[in-house]
Every structure is written in C-alpha cells, then in structure tokens.
A and B are shown apart, each in its own frame.
Chain A
Amino acid sequence: MNESKTKSGSNLEKVLTSDNFAVTAEIGPPMDCNAEVVLEKARALKGFADAFNITDNQTGVVRMSSIASAVLIMREGLEPIIQMTCRDRNRLAIQADILGAAGLGMKNSLCIAGDHQSFGTAGKLKGHPGAKNVYDIDSIQLVSILKGMRDDGVQQGGDPLKENPPLFIGAAWTPLGDPVKIRPFRLKKKIIAGADFIQTQGVFDVEQFSEQMKIISDMGLHERTAILAGIIVPKSLGMLRYMNSSVPGVSVPDSMIKRMEQARSSAGDDKKQASKNQAEEGIKITVELIKQVQEIPGIRGVHIQAIEWEHRVPGIIEKAGLLPRPLIS
C-alpha cells in the first residue's frame, strides 16, 4: 500500500482499503489525571484492534481529554481515533484541537454531536448539568470542516492552511434511532459531507439492523464509506435490560434477555457465580454478534465498546476469529 494514495496514512484506513475486516475498540479515559489507567488499557489491547477510539467526555462526564489520552496510547504503539464532540467546543476550538492532534501524528477522528451535558448526572455522579453547551456546529458540519481542512486546505472561515491535516474522517450512525426513516438519509448526508468511515450505535437486534443495512445498501451508501458495526459488550442482565429500555436506538431481542436471565438464575443463590455466568454469557453473545454482523453485506468491520471492561476485549476478538490483526506496511 502506497501511503501517498491514502487520505491519511492511518492504519485503519490501510486495513480498510486493503479489504480487510476492520476491528476498532474503545478506550475510556479516567475521570482524573492518572495516565497509568490509559497506559494499562493500551498495553492490554495492543495488537487486538486496528485503531482505538478515545472517548471525549463521554456521557457528559469530565474525563482526561481524548487527544491527551491519544498521546499516551501512541506511546504504547497503538493508533488512536480521537473523538471530537460539538457539545464542548466551538468551531475555533475544534479546528485548533484538530490541527494540534494532526501535529501530534493522530490520523483518525470521529465526529459526533456528543451526549447532552445533562447525562453527566446519571448514577452516582454529579456531572455538570449546569454547563452551557456549545453546538456551534453539528456533527455533519464538523465532518465537512475536517474534509475542507484536509482536501481543500482551508479553515472553515476561509483562511488557508499551509499544511493540510491528513485525517481519516469518521462519523457515528444510529441505524435504529427514531424517526427511523430519516436514518438512511442522515447517513447519506454524513457521507456527502465527507465521512470515510462510520461506527454505528451498538447492534443487538441483528435482524432489524440488517433491514436498515439493506436499505442503505440499495442506496449504494455502503460503497461510499466503510461501515463498522457497533458492538457493545453486555456484562450483565441489568445492563442488557438498561440498554433495551433506556438507550435510544438500541433494542435488545427478548431471546437475548432470556439467555442472560438463564445465565443468572442457573447459579441459584450464589451471587458471585451468577455474576460470572452473566459475564461469560455476555462474552458469548458478543462473539456471536460479531460473527453475525460480519455476514451482513456492506459491513466492513466492527467497533467494540466494552465499557470499563476493556481487558475482556482481547478474548472476544480472539474467539471471534479476528486475530491476528493485519500488519500493513
């Protein structure tokens, strides 16, 4: 692969353009300045995926920044996909951060709107529900800004760049979000704006997901961007139920919930065993999901999100038969 032929020279881009099934995985930074947390996750995941998303104040919770965490994982030899939300920065800050990230050698960026700041108050956390959100631009416009910087060498305001940031531009897609009929068109807009790759919301209902994939394949969209199916690793029955009832755009089939119920009840009163059984069942479900989405026409890879469970990702990827990851010079 000749690097000059790629847009960014990123490993993820090379894996995709050489027709390999791509694997990305998510790394969640800590809520403090402990670099070791990021480094440990990086060491555990090295070699198990082609690039690694670093979330950007995910769920509206302040965490070590995506770009700073990306520097840390690069030191361990991992390729980052920095995430950039529209919630916290206006177009000046976004472009400054993107140029900085490119200057630091980061080659992939995922452009997202970002969870609303009110979500930071979930669970035991206080979050920052009183924060003023920015949303100067939306995620599609963000994609277009990055494309403009990379391909046309201009900032959004029109000022020229002497050196263009080589970026592989990503966007998110919630295929089963409401209103569901708009979703294919929203994907199309992201592609027109310049999304080179797409990472979807977590897929549990493969049948429904396949139906949306059929629609976008009929529109030819799968050929214009690389779609990576989102895989969220379910740790427990509670998590699966929560995902089903409270996470927009995610629907978990009853059969899957029943499987997890059985895994839990099979341990009787032994809570420790119940938790272990659920974890094992969750891994099994994950591996099956990966294999199933692999069969869907138009799916070019998987994006695995094991929230605060990153150490289980290597086993999952191995069981799914996705090792070794391709080495492309």
Chain B
Amino acid sequence: MIIAERKSFDEIYNFACRHKNVLILGCGSCVTVCMAGGEKEVGILASQITLAARQKGDTIQLIEHTITRQCDPEFFDEETSKKIEQADAVISIACGVGVQCCVERFPSKIVYPGLNTSFYGATLEQGVWAERCAGCGQCVLESFGGLCPVARCSKSLLNGPCGGSVGGKCEIDPENLDCAWQLIYDRMERLGRLEDLEKIQPIKDWSGSRDGGPRKIVREDIRL
C-alpha cells in the first residue's frame, strides 16, 4: 500500500487559516490502514484545527468527510461533490494521488495536501511500516529470491553488497536499516540458489520507471 505521514500541524493550519469554510477530506484506503488519512484522522485533525483557531481568534468552519478512495473518480459521489463545492477549500489527507484526483475533478477548487506521501510499503507491526517496492516498472524480484534491491538497498545495487554491510545492517543507519543484500544472500542460501547471485545482473532499463516520464497504462481489452 501507499504509506504516508501527516504533515506538521503548523503547515496544515497555515493552509486552513486562509479560508472560512474548509472541508477535511479523508480517504478510506491505504492511508486509513497506515493511520495517516482515514476517518479517524480526519476527526483528530478537525479537532486540532478548531482548538487552534479558537486560541488564535481565527474563524474557520470545518466540515469532515471521508470517501472510500480518492484515487478513483467513482467515489466522488453526489454528497461528496456537494460538500466540496460548498467549501472554500479542501484539505485532502489522501496520498498525493488522491489530492490530484480531487484537483482534477474540481478544477476551480483549492485543494491542499495534508500528508507527505512516502513510499510503497508494508506494515511490519502496529505503527511500523517499511518500503518494499520502488515501482520501477520492471519487476526483478525473481532474481533475488523475492527481495527487492532496488527498493531496499540504499544504493539500489543489483550485483551484490557494497562495502558498507555490517552484521546484517546498512552502514547509513546501522540501528534501523537492514542490509538488503544480507537479506538477499540469506534467502538465496536458504533456497539453495547462491549460484544465481554469481550472474552479472545487466544494466537496468529505467525507462519503465519515472525516468521514462510520467507513466500511464492503457488496457484496450478492458476499456469501455
């Protein structure tokens, strides 16, 4: 899923205080799971803004609303559209995709981002998420036993660890960061596939990644 973190309250309040009527729009998908932008977080943010506005003497009318997915136009239903139209501005606490879908759907409306979208990741435990995919457009997981060096090695090295692997940790943050290549080595050893790591991985074609420009997929077989 997409992992995001809420922006600092000051940054968000700086958006909110420019308007009289503000809609805080949550998203019921990834950012609900990673506890950054769901219905609960909409409520918390609204309370915080209300409290701060009272203290600062600002008048901000807040409306709270959450839809299933902001990255899909079909969830912007009539009720949602009405609320967006009525507000002076929207603070979307969806990921960056959701914010932009909202902008595209309501071109005359000011839509502020309430989150910093971080990465494609997994939940490791409650409150801990970690990056697992870089969305490079050409999946190499099979070559590495199901562990991605593009996303998980600090240098995205495809041909083995740099000199900075110590006791299973990456030198750039030995407290918190596993060396992806230690994990890959251990996994390949377990699978009896160490000889695969002796193959030189060819130079990667990054044109399927962001380097090919903004990406778009068109599936003619399912278009209406």
Where the two chains meet, the residues of A that have a C-beta atom closer than 8 Å to any C-beta of B are: 86-87, 91, 113-116, 118-119, 133, 135-141, 144-145, 156, 172, 174, 177-179, 181-182, 185-186, 188-189, 192-193, 201, 248-249
Contact = CB atoms under 8 A, between A and B. Distances in A.
B168 A178 contact: yes
B167 interface: yes
26 contacts: A91-B203, A118-B172, A135-B157, A137-B204, A138-B155, A138-B156, A140-B160, A140-B200, A141-B203, A145-B203, A172-B163, A177-B161, A178-B179, A179-B182, A181-B185, A182-B161, A182-B181, A182-B185, A186-B159, A189-B159, A189-B160, A201-B163, A248-B164, A248-B165, A248-B171, A249-B163
Q: Say whether chain B's binding surface is mostly helix, strand, loop, or mixed.
A: loop
Interface in B192-217: 194, 197-198, 200-204, 206
B159 A141 contact: yes
B27 to A, nearest CB: 28
Q: Contact residue range for chain B?
A: 20 to 34
A116 B164 contact: yes
Contact of B165 (A91, A135, A179): A179
Contacts of A189: 159-160, 198, 200
B68 interface: no
Contacts of A139: 157, 159, 162
A177 B158 CA distance: 17
A138 B159 contact: yes
B163 to A, nearest CB: 3
A251 to B, nearest CB: 10
B97 interface: no
Pairs of residues from A and B, 5 with the lowest C-beta to C-beta distance, nearest first: A174-B163, A140-B159, A186-B160, A178-B165, A138-B157
Contacts of B203: 91, 137, 141, 144-145, 156
A173 to B, nearest CB: 8
B166 interface: yes
Interface of B: 154-168, 171-172, 179, 181-182, 185-186, 194, 197-198, 200-204, 206
B155 A133 contact: yes
A248 B165 CA distance: 6
Contacts of B202: 141
Nearest to B158: A138
Given A177-B166, A186-B160, A189-B198, 16 more contacts: A114-B155, A118-B172, A119-B172, A133-B155, A135-B156, A138-B155, A139-B159, A145-B203, A172-B163, A177-B164, A178-B165, A182-B185, A189-B160, A248-B166, A249-B163, A249-B164
Contacts of B200: 140-141, 144, 189, 192-193
B205 to A, nearest CB: 11
A113 B74 CA distance: 46
B160, B168, B201: which has the most chain A beta carbons within 10 Å? B160
Nearest to B149: A138
A250 to B, nearest CB: 9
B160 A178 contact: no
Contacts of B186: 179
A114 B156 CA distance: 12
Nearest to B189: A181
B160 A113 contact: no
Contacts of B163: 172, 174, 177, 201, 248-249
A133 B159 CA distance: 18
Nearest to B179: A178
Nearest to B156: A135
B174 to A, nearest CB: 9
